Amino acid sequence: MSSFTIQSRTSGSIHILELNGELDAHTASHLEDSLKSLIEEKQFNIVVNFSRLDYISSAGLGVFMAYIEDVRSLGGDIKLSNMSDKVYNVFDLLGFPTLYDILHTEEEAIVKFTI
């Protein structure tokens, strides 16, 4: 079984999810639950920090696709940061850089919400 955790914190009005471990078919529901909870709490400015994510599967990518339109329709966004080259390549292969702001650091992602 895959090891996966999500640490959650805030920076002002921005909610940060830090992913740890492997995001795959077995663990994608944890991320889905976290995003659902944020939407229910009316937290629509979200940064997902990938600095501790070792692996992402298509199931993990699917969670992002499932929620981005909902969050944007509510006036927010999901910005992605701190990806390793390996994880970024998976996103890039599927064209995600044209759909999401993917930034080098969490701080850059937070600043994007103020621009």
Indicate if the pLDDT at residue 1 is higher than 60. no
Task: Report the pLDDT value the prediction gives residue 114, as an integer from 0 to 100.
Answer: 85
CATH number at residue 107: 3.30.750.24
Look at residue 15 and tell me whether its pLDDT is greater than 60: yes
User: Which pair of tokens denotes residue 9?
Assistant: 């914190």
Number of domains in the chain: 1
- Give the residue numbers spanning the domain of 20: 4-112
Is the pLDDT assigned to residue 46 strictly greater than 60? yes
pTM equals 0.95
* Distance in angstroms between the alpha carbons of the first and the last residue of the chain: 41
Per-residue pLDDT tens over the stretch 57-102:
999 999 999 999 999 999 999 999 999 999 999 999 989 999 999 9
Side-chain half-sphere of 59: how many Cα atoms within 13 Å? Answer: 12
Strands 77-81 and 45-56: parallel
CA nearest neighbour of 100 among 80, 115, 114: 80
Beta bridge partners of 22: 55
